[in-house]
């Protein structure tokens, strides 16, 4: 007796095809999951699922392009820092060299009573000079 093949209907939404070019663009600008979901017309959960699959083309394309962006940004910062931008020099020193703004003070045997008297004299002199 011949058996009838049942046509299986696919359940759920059709799979979204993510093109590599747009994924790279998203990575270049570190697009948020919400932005990507709006762009592709899907849920944030769909984006999260694809990003969490380390071996997926989606995740690899996004992360690779974002890594390129970070390298370019770092290169540009270094270029401007080496041209004399003090703010960038300080920031890069903190990021790469572990430098901090921490001020370390130590007690060098100063008599606190003498110090307080000197401060009092200075304050009094400043008030009378006004």
Quick: pLDDT tens for 22-74.
999 999 999 999 999 999 999 999 999 999 998 889 999 999 999 999 999 98
pLDDT at 1 over 60: no
Report the alpha-carbon distance of residue 115 to residue 47 in Å, rounded: 64
The candidate with the shortest Cα–Cα distance to 77, out of 93, 99, 61, 98, is 93
Report the alpha-carbon distance of residue 51 to residue 62 in Å, rounded: 8
Give the count of beta carbons closer than 10 Å to the beta carbon of residue 45.
Answer: 10
User: Which of 18-22, 97-101, 107-111 has the highest average model confidence (pLDDT)?
Assistant: 18-22
Q: What is the DSSP string of 24-48?
A: HHHHHTT--HHHHHHHHTS-HHHHH
- Threshold 0.75, pTM exceeds: no
Report the alpha-carbon distance of residue 56 to residue 125 in Å, rounded: 73
Using an 8 Å Cβ cutoff, are 58 and 18 in contact?
Answer: yes
């Amino acid at each position: 007796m011949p058996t009838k093949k049942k046509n299986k209907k696919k359940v759920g939404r059709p799979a979204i095809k993510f093109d590599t070019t747009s994924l790279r663009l998203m990575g270049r600008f570190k697009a948020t999951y919400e932005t990507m979901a709006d762009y592709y017309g899907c849920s944030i959960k769909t984006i999260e699922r694809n990003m969490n699959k380390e071996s997926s083309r989606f995740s690899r394309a996004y992360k690779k392009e974002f890594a390129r962006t970070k390298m370019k940004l770092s290169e540009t910062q270094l270029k401007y820092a080496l041209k004399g931008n003090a703010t960038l020099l300080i920031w890069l020193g903190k990021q790469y060299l572990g430098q901090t703004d921490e001020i370390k003070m130590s007690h060098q045997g100063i008599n606190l009573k003498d110090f307080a008297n000197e401060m009092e004299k200075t304050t009094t002199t400043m008030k009378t000079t006004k």
